[in-house]
Structure 1
């Protein structure tokens, strides 16, 4: 975080799409600026209508819009908003994407498959964005899909600070990667908490289906923390938790940056041995009234994103915010 607040110029404007208005409000509060005036409605046939209700000419515009569910609506709204600000003669348009939708198809695995993560990057670039800010992209190579500057931030330190605060540290705790691809993220959290590391080896016979094949590491008697970039249907996390308990783990906590929580994730987690789930608010938490809501803790990324916005606006270094790779 910044050692001291950088001054904000008169031409800074922060606007919010309808993807996560609560997070946008929190970011504006951290910055000490009001959200820009804008209207997003629908025509009778469902088409998105956008009206920017204040001048954006010559302004440094930051547009906050995660492309979470409903993914297609939020994605199309983002593209229309970009076109509106480009045509309004904004000096610079920075897209703040707390969650990047369509990120899981980042390469061709089978014949005739699309690379939707690249397609989305092209759409955002061609629609008028000058810069992009993301948090915990599903695949780091997505950063290279853009032909414009991308600031890739990490929520891992926020999660790590929380676990330190609640005392999940040292030898009684074990950080667990849910697959081989997440080892770097899990190792960094383990180093932060000074705990051992374990790895779940698994295979995916089909999308959103998982089979646990092996657990590498000693989890017996440990309070295990499974860390991933996102929880979608919950199948991977729940299967991992069941395998850890079967291996003698004392407890299982799950954490991630993006709580996608598609159906039937909330019910699966509710019925699972997972005691707690720690998320961030990159995606709105939609289950506050669910009986299992008490299992969930939602941490805010508003301060992190506000600091990034302030640094970009003031042409200051953003690298300090992601020097520690997660």
Structure 2
């Protein structure tokens, strides 16, 4: 349980016993006739989190103490029929929900996602870092309350959206495990390097391998190697770039898509289309209960033509699935060929909406029942924070949040 003094107490929802509402100098339980009477005039109408010192019945009086410097609190049983066993059960039930408590740090770009993650679990607490720069442009970084995270489980939510921000975040990533933390987890929703690389000629440099080796050398914490949580890595072989000193956990956004598809009114008429064999290899097992269409790309001179390799789009709501989109050229060509083969509706899903140079503007909403001209839906996750801000509330785009999946991963 985090230590909170009267000066730092925040909301009643943080109390582990039951939900409390404040009233002048006392806090009254909304679920049982028990009140917390505070022996101080400095608390006002604030709510507090405190640790139970004793729940034994001592003439109707039970005591609690703050876990850090502060005034003691008396728990007064105003009804002799109230059972101390039920109170203890409430405390036990609250604690059982958390396998561990996690201090979550975040970068500037991932703040919104970090706040969403914290809202998913009472076991995760948001912590902040001062991100500044010296006059020469190099990072001036400060981890707030560094001593306060000793012995805690710590995570950092990163975004390597551009080379300009990678160095400053790596500096923090390398510093956190050395602050005597119990464990360290790096959450990198989008592993960015290698998405456009083609290792075809001698001299081509695999930057994905470079980044994987950098992350593989993060200092170990007291609990052992760093855990890495990432989603739908672009090239499947990249998972083998990591060394033995990091524990990669490869998650997927596809379960979010499946839940969304099940909520559609025409969920029984869905077919899944893969723009190429690579997307089929990556995702077809997770979507095997849907009829499948596989496209492929054929180069004819300087042109790239997309054709249907297998499957039938006639009369179906076809959802094109891939791990990421950049310019969107392949996806648009796939959309056109599916419409030409009789698709009734066309939607798209990618885990990572990168959209450099605002290429998301190429995708329009189908308002006339013509799937060749527009999409019914374009689902992306919030793995790329900059994109989310640009497309929010702009149909056909919908954002499926990774917050719940990340919150669960942090409890492993």
Q: How far apart are the structure 2 equivalents of 1:200 and 1:264?
A: 26
Please state whether the residue corresponding to 1:112 is helix, strand or coil.
coil
Change (3 A) 1:138 1:50: same
Which is greater in Rg? Answer: 2
Of stretches 140-149 and 267-276 in structure 1, the one that deviates more from structure 2 is 267-276
**Residues 88-99 of structure 1 aligned to structure 2 (within 5 Å):** 88-99=179-190
Q: How far apart are the structure 2 equivalents of 1:235 and 1:120?
A: 27
Q: How far apart are the structure 2 equivalents of 1:290 and 1:28?
A: 23
Partner of 2:410: 309
Change (3 A) 1:18 1:285: closer
CA contact (8 A) 1:98 1:133 kept: yes
CA contact (8 A) 2:273 2:292 kept: yes
Match of 2:395 among 288, 294, 297: 294
Post-superposition offset of 1:87: 4.1
Match of 2:262 among 158, 161, 164: 164
Partner of 2:315: 221
Partner of 2:114: 24
Change (3 A) 1:204 1:66: farther
**Residues 31-42 of structure 1 aligned to structure 2 (within 5 Å):** 31-32=121-122, 33-42=124-133
Change (3 A) 1:59 1:43: same
Partner of 1:174: 271
CA contact (8 A) 2:313 2:343 kept: yes
Partner of 1:274: 375
1:183 aligns with 2:274: no
Partner of 1:138: 234
Q: How far apart are the structure 2 equivalents of 1:245 and 1:282?
A: 29
Provide the aligned C-alpha RMSD in A. Answer: 2.6
Post-superposition offset of 1:283: 1.4
Partner of 1:317: none
Structure 2 unaligned regions, length at least 5 = 1-94, 221-225, 366-372
Partner of 1:79: 170
Change (3 A) 1:289 1:309: closer
Change (3 A) 1:9 1:290: closer
Q: How far apart are the structure 1 equivalents of 2:351 and 2:104?
A: 23
Q: Which has the higher helix share?
A: 1
> Number of residues paired by the alignment?
300
Q: How far apart are the structure 1 equivalents of 2:219 and 2:388?
A: 35
Structure with the greater relative contact order (CA < 8 A, sep ≥ 6): 1 or 2? Answer: 1
TM-score, reference length from structure 2: 0.67
CA contact (8 A) 1:61 1:90 kept: yes
